[in-house]
């Protein structure tokens, strides 16, 4: 039995072996055949399907040649190389006998590129943005890349809902028309701008600093309320620079986020700020390792003063002045490096300006890139360096900041690359231009003028020359005004501001003085800096003033002013010589130490102006006006404001001051009084006409604060104030005309004063202000006004 089992098992193994033998034989044959295929030699390479591309061009991209052994890996690499050329839509490689057949399908050639549905972005801009052009080879990858480029253009315009679909229209001879179908969608605007972490400055003050604005009533006139990521990056830098200028050296913008609001109607932008601690300047010193440099002679270049609020821009300006001064002494390669020494315990930063010799590198060339509209010289004149000069990184950085301050460019970048020799460097100034034209208008109501409105159009880069021009039309029920201004900010390519103004103004004083006035003329002006923050402007003006529509019941003084030699109280005026010419020269000197000129909370401003009339013309007088403003932060959000103004006018050469040249003051100077409500007055006339005065002064003390329980982003704030002032000394003509009517001319230098409160609103149509004032002291003939509403005059 056991032997029988062994025999059966043996038979089973024999049968299994016989069943597997054919498969083993087949496997050997297959292996032998594959090995023989791998060892085959390519005798020829044939290219099939090509129409424009030469066969040799196709063969040049293959990783094998005739005579090589066939290799699957080289075939795969060859297919990838042919696809990478962008010339082919499909590629296959087959091995037939000893011949390799390369079959290609060429991509079509673009006959025309068109755009449909674009209205917000012009076609020329899109053509310049896409890479596919007529006579270039079409590929779907390139088309998708161009779709992304077009979307990027629309996103920069705030159109984040835009979509683009590329379509091709097949033509004969393997050509296609490429059409980008665009659905622009609605513009995505900025609904709100918030700040987190700011304590030293309010949201409103920081919104004045950045370039992006919130959506408003008239935002369709400007593009700054459209969300733009590039502009938001610029705003981050503007905020940082602002803090560095106002005492916060450690300030940083830690985050800037833009989120779609819940109903998808706009973006909410939030800037997160880490202010750090406020600092002032400590000791200021100059050290030099250059022989022959006397640091004591350089102290006049120091703009940073011990005890002053830390200002990084003043450090940069001081370094630049020192560099220029040392270069004038023959040290072209001198380098000035400010070395800050902070003291956290006293919150001071001492600055030592270290002077040493920098590397001897020369500027070989300065290239300007990206300025399609702005002319090269507008950019080059902001450099204090020229081609061939010694390279100084500080001077290049200062030039970059000056270019950014022009407001003509969205971005400015100065790149440095090696020149033709080791001691040569090439500077590439890369700019991205932005819109510089602006159309604006406003409307409102004033208690003194009724309905008011204005419209203006301005351009800050006229014909690409960096010049400023503005045309403004303004009016109300009592005023019509047209102004045309032109300014060349770099006259003769120097730090001189030159320009001219043409103006027309017509004022209706019927309700206050019984006449109307017309003034038309022009002026030319030249301004220049005397020192840091000290500015001087000189001007020449010629104008013609005319008094007309004098009322029958107007003051005798007004009838005399219009040329009536024998005026009567009730008779019609006989105005024979109601107009006269004024030719004058003027000088204005101003010193501005405010931290934020548009909305200051600290610092002061002083201005003194002097005019001399009589260089031809009919009027002969000299006039001086002075104004001072002071700002002090009581707390982070409460500011004390002080203001003092005054002026006087006096005739010369035997000529009296004319009535139209005298001062007319009222509620705009001392709140609580009506327009032309204070000063000399003819109480004998029917309307108790104001006659103006030759001397005046006024002073204001005001405390400004945010209104409690009202969100700051609404733009409402409040103030309490105390005003005082006076206007007196009627013109000699007025005194002469009323000499026969004793008691009718009332003229006193008594103090007029008032106290009150204000509500101010940064509205979408501009700043508005409501003043409520209680008069404390006045003359009996003065005219008062408890409530005054109108456009806010910032001071």
Tens of pLDDT, residues 545-580: 999 989 888 999 999 888 877 788 877 887 877 789
Residues 6+ apart with CB under 8 A from 440: 218, 221, 222, 455, 456, 457, 458
Q: Would you state the pLDDT for residue 612? A: 97
Q: Would you state the pLDDT for residue 693? A: 96
Q: Would you state the pLDDT for residue 104? A: 87
Residue 758 has φ and ψ, to the nearest 5°, of -135, 150
Q: Would you state the pLDDT for residue 4? A: 39
Say how far residue 259 (Cα) sits from the centre of its chain. Answer: 23
C-alpha distances (whole Å) from 446 to each of 475, 489, 511, 770 are 12, 35, 15, 10
Residue 14's pLDDT band (boundaries 50, 70, 90)? very low
Q: How far apart are the first and last CA of the chain?
A: 126
C-alpha distances (whole Å) from 756 to each of 595, 637, 699, 722, 773 are 27, 20, 14, 7, 4
| DSSP assignment letter at 467 | -
Give me the mean pLDDT over the 250-256 stretch.
93
Give me the mean pLDDT over the 376-389 stretch.
90
54 pLDDT above the threshold of 90: no
762 pLDDT above the threshold of 80: no
Lowest model confidence (mean pLDDT) among 3-7, 326-330, 627-631, 702-706? 3-7
Q: Would you state the pLDDT for residue 493? A: 84
Q: Would you state the pLDDT for residue 89? A: 78
Give me the mean pLDDT over the 85-95 stretch.
84
Pairing of strands 190-196, 267-274: parallel
206 pLDDT above the threshold of 70: yes
Give me the mean pLDDT over the 60-79 stretch.
87
Q: Please report which helix (H) or strand (E) contains residue 152, including its range.
A: helix 140-156
Pick from 691, 741, 736: nearest CA to 547: 691
Give the mean pLDDT of the chain. Answer: 86
Residue 16's pLDDT band (boundaries 50, 70, 90)? very low
Burial of 514 (0-12, 13-18, 19+ CB in 10 A): buried
Q: Position of tokens 């400055």?
A: 201
Percent of the chain with pLDDT over 90: 48
pLDDT tens-digit map of 469-517: 999 998 888 889 999 999 999 998 888 999 999 999 999 988 888 899 9
786 pLDDT above the threshold of 60: yes
Report the range out of 82-91, 131-140, 354-363, 697-706 with the highest average pLDDT. Answer: 697-706
């Amino acid at each position: 039995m056991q032997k029988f089992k062994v025999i059966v098992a043996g038979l089973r193994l024999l049968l299994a072996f016989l069943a597997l033998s054919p498969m083993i034989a087949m496997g050997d044959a297959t292996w032998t055949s594959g090995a023989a295929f791998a060892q085959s030699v390519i005798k020829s390479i044939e290219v099939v399907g090509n129409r424009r591309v030469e066969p040799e061009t196709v063969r040049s991209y293959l990783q094998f040649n005739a005579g090589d052994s066939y290799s699957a890996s080289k075939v795969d690499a060859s297919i990838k190389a042919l696809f990478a050329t962008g010339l082919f839509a499909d590629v296959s490689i087959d091995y037939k006998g000893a011949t390799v057949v390369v079959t290609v399908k060429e991509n079509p050639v673009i006959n025309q590129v068109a755009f449909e549905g674009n209205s917000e972005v012009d076609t020329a801009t899109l053509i310049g943005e896409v890479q596919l052009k007529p006579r270039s080879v079409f590929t779907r990858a390139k088309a998708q890349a161009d779709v992304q480029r077009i979307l990027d253009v629309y996103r920069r315009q705030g159109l984040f809902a835009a979509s683009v679909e590329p379509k091709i229209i097949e033509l004969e001879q393997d050509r296609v028309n490429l059409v980008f179908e665009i659905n622009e969608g609605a513009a995505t605007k900025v609904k709100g701008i918030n700040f987190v972490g700011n304590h030293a400055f309010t949201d409103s003050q920081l919104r004045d600093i950045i370039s992006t604005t919130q959506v408003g009533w008239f935002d369709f006139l400007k593009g700054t309320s459209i969300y733009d990521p590039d502009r938001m990056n610029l705003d981050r830098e503007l905020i940082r620079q602002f803090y560095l200028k106002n005492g916060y050296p450690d300030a940083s913008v830690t985050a800037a986020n833009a989120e779609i609001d819940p109903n998808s109607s706009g973006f909410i932008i939030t800037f997160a700020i880490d202010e750090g601690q406020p600092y002032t300047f400590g000791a200021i010193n100059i050290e030099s390792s250059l022989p022959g440099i006397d640091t004591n002679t350089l102290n006049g270049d120091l703009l940073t003063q011990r005890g002053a609020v830390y200002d990084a821009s003043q450090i940069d300006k001081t370094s630049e002045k020192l560099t220029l001064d040392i270069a004038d002494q023959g040290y072209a390669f001198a380098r000035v490096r400010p070395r800050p020494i902070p003291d956290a315990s006293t919150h001071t930063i001492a600055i030592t300006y270290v002077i040493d010799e920098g590397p001897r590198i020369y500027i070989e060339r300065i290239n300007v890139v990206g300025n399609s509209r702005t002319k090269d010289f507008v950019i080059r004149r902001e450099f204090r360096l020229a081609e061939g000069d010694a390279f100084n990184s500080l001077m290049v950085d200062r030039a970059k900041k000056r270019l950014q301050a022009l407001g003509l460019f969205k971005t400015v970048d100065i790149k440095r690359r090696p020149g033709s020799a080791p001691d040569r460097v090439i500077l590439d100034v890369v700019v991205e231009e932005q819109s510089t034209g602006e159309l604006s208008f406003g409307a409102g109501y004033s208690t003194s003028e009724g309905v008011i409105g204005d419209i203006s159009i301005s351009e800050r880069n006229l014909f690409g020359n960096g010049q400023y021009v503005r045309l403004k039309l303004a009016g109300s029920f009592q005023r019509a005004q047209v102004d045309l201004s032109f300014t060349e900010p770099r006259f003769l390519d120097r730090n001189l501001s030159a320009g001219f103004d043409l103006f027309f103004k017509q004022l209706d004083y019927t309700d206050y003085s019984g006449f109307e006035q017309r003034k038309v003329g022009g002026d030319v002006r030249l301004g220049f800096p005397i020192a840091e923050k000290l500015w001087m402007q000189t001007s020449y003006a010629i104008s013609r003033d005319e008094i007309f529509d004098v009322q029958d019941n107007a003051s005798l003084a007004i009838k005399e002013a219009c040329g009536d030699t024998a005026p009567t109280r009730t008779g019609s005026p006989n105005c024979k010589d109601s107009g006269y010419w004024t030719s004058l020269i003027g000088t204005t000197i101003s010193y501005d130490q405010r931290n934020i000129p548009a909305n200051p909370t600290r610092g002061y401003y002083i201005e003194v102006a002097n005019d001399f009339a009589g260089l031809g013309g009919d009027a002969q007088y000299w006039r001086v006006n002075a104004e001072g403003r002071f700002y002090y932060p009581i707390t982070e959000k409460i500011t004390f404001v002080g203001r003092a103004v005054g002026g006087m006018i006096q005739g010369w050469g035997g000529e009296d001051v004319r009535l139209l040249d005298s001062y007319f003051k009222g509620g705009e100077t001392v709140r609580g009084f009506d327009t032309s409500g204070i000063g000399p007055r003819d109480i004998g006339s029917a309307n108790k006409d104001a006659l103006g005065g030759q001397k005046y002064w006024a002073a204001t003390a005001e405390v400004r604060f945010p209104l409690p329980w009202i969100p700051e982003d609404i733009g409402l704030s409040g103030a309490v104030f105390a005003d005082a002032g006076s206007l007196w000394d009627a013109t000699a003509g007025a005194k002469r005309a009323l000499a026969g009517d004793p008691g009718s001319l009332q003229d006193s230098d008594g103090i007029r004063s008032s106290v009150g409160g204000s509500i101010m609103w940064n509205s979408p149509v501009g700043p508005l202000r409501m003043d409520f004032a209680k008069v404390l002291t006045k003359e009996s003939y003065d005219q008062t006004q408890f409530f005054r509403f109108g456009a806010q005059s910032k001071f």
